[in-house]
A and B are shown apart, each in its own frame.
Chain A
Amino acid sequence: MALELHPLEQFKIEELVPIHIGGYDLSFTNASLFMTIAVVLITALLTVPTRRAKLVPGRWQSIAEMSYEFVADMVETNAGHGAEPYFPFIFTLFMFVLLSNFLGLIPYGYTVTSQIIVTFALAAAVFIGVTIVGIVKHGFRFLRLFVPEGVPIVLLVLLVPIELLSYCIRPFTLSIRLFANMLAGHTMLAIFGGFAANVLFVAIFPVALDIAIFALEILVAALQAYVFAILACLYLRDALHLH
């Protein structure tokens, strides 16, 4: 008597507060709820401990300062000199993706970044923003990004379309990387949980595997946030410095 497995049901979007205006569905869903929770938590983490900041920081002030320092260091190392104005954007990206990934790991929590539309919105913001920055800074010379130096003209005919394609595919790979990692991780957790529910006596094995995969998911959550932010920094460097 096996239970039917529905591992993808955890990603279903449910309307909590239906709001329909003029034919558009603007409901407050469980995804919206968790995005709001993520933003509230980030704001609380950054404003509350630093309100009366001490020279020798306490625990929470330390966490806030370390996260700031980590992203500032990453932006300076990877995006180069002219990238300081873009630090708030990269910081917001990193903290939002990190918190959204972690909130999904809490039992009964919803993983906002497992929806392709959310990750694609973030990746499109990065791609369009970086392209506009490059065009504003360099004008038409921005197209030199696709023409590597010291390449004979014959190879250029082949190389420029390939470079162009790999540039235009960036928002898709950026979004699908995060989305596929979150989807695969949570689906695996649900599938092994389903095995444990079906097999009563040897359920210790799927449960042990689930615990191991859960630990891996914690690593992947942090790592994918880091990779998203660092790739945004690298794309920004490409646009600002054209090589």
Chain B
Amino acid sequence: MDLASAKMIGAGLACIALVGAGVGIGNVFSSLISAVARNPAAQAQVQPFAFLGFALAEATGLFGLAIAFLILFVF
């Protein structure tokens, strides 16, 4: 197998990490919606945590995407 094909396969495999990001972000915002539905007055307090949680969950997925880009374009 030549390097270019191996790179493509490697990049594709590295993108599987984004599944975790999707599940995590969905979880965070589903909790936010449930919390605001139960207690609309708490929205201002809960929303900053929701955005913090979204950013942290997305970050781990993006670690995988960064590896995919590194494999494709740098190595």
> Is A187 an interface residue, CB under 8 A from the partner?
yes
Interface secondary structure of B, over-half rule: helix
B6 on interface, CB distance cutoff 8 Å: no
Contact of A184 among B48, B54, B56, B62 (CB under 8 A): B62
Q: Mark A121-144, 1 if CB is under 8 A from B, else 0.
A: 000000000000000000000000
In the complex, the answer to whether A180 meets B55 with C-beta atoms within 8 Å is no
| Contact assessment for A180 and B63 in the assembled complex, using a CB-CB cutoff below 8 Å | yes
Residues of A within 8 A of B59 (CB): 173, 176-177, 180-181, 227
Does any Cβ of A come within 8 Å of B36's Cβ? no
The reply on A8 being an interface residue by CB < 8 A is yes
Q: Are A223 and B54 touching (Cβ within 8 A)?
A: yes
Flag whether A226 is at the interface (Cβ < 8 A): yes
Which residues of A93-123 are within 8 A (CB) of B?
none
B46 within 8 A of A: no
Cα–Cα, bound, A210→B71 (Å) = 23
Give chain B residues whose Cβ lies under 8 Å from the Cβ of A177.
55-56, 59, 62-63
Cα(A160)–Cα(B75), bound, Å: 37
Digitize B50-75: 1 where CB-to-A-CB distance is under 8 Å, 0 elsewhere. 01101110110011011001000110
B66–A223 touching, CB < 8 Å: no
Is A61 in contact with chain B by the CB < 8 A criterion? no
Q: Which residues of B contact A227 (CB under 8 A)?
A: 51-52, 55-56, 59
Whether A184 contacts B52 in the complex (CB less than 8 A), given A8-B73, A8-B74, comes out as no
| Besides A177-B62, A187-B69, 11 other A-B contacts (C-beta < 8 A) | A8-B69, A8-B74, A177-B55, A179-B66, A180-B59, A180-B62, A184-B69, A223-B54, A226-B51, A230-B48, A230-B52
